Amino acid sequence: MAGKQSQLEELLAPVVQSLDCELWGLEYFAQGKKSMLRIYIDKKPDGVLVEDCERVSRQVSSVLDVEDPIAGEYTLEVSSPGMDRPLYKLEHYRDYIGEKVSVKLRIAFEGRKKFSGLLKGIENDEIVLEVDKEEYLLPFELIDKASVVPRF
């Protein structure tokens, strides 16, 4: 799936940027005959409006119809990353240093896969996460999913 996601990102990022938004990330799920493509967009400085999602959805849908990178039927969703925004790229982590994040790893690291704590920084290709007053250096390539934990 990573190859398909990269292909879709390369195809769609310029389309989203042309509409004054940023492609925050995307998730592609192949589910038999019916696949799902979920696109997260962001817009500085004011955030994403419903109208932005509609414009991006229409334009992305047109590009996907012409380029046809997804075989069979699929559902397209376009939304903002929200308060519990997923973190896809190392640059995303830089923007949220000092915030609480939740991380799930592909394989266990020091006996566990799930971590939730304060994002302290980035060292090379590892994130520094403080969990219960203990710091962990988690390799970026081991991260399966990560998201900001919203504050209320």
Domains, the chain, in order of start with CATH, read: 2-79 (3.30.300.70), 90-148 (2.30.30.100)
Dump pLDDT digits (tens) for 53-94: 999 999 999 999 999 888 788 899 999 999 999 999 999 999
The mean pLDDT of 19-36, rounded to a whole number, is: 89
Using the Cα atoms of residue 51, residue 52, residue 58 and residue 61 in order, give the sign of their dihedral. negative
Joined tokens for residue 150: 């919203």
CB 128: neighbour CB atoms within 10 A?
17
Give percent above pLDDT 90 in the chain. 78
DSSP code at position 98: T
* pTM of the predicted protein model: 0.84
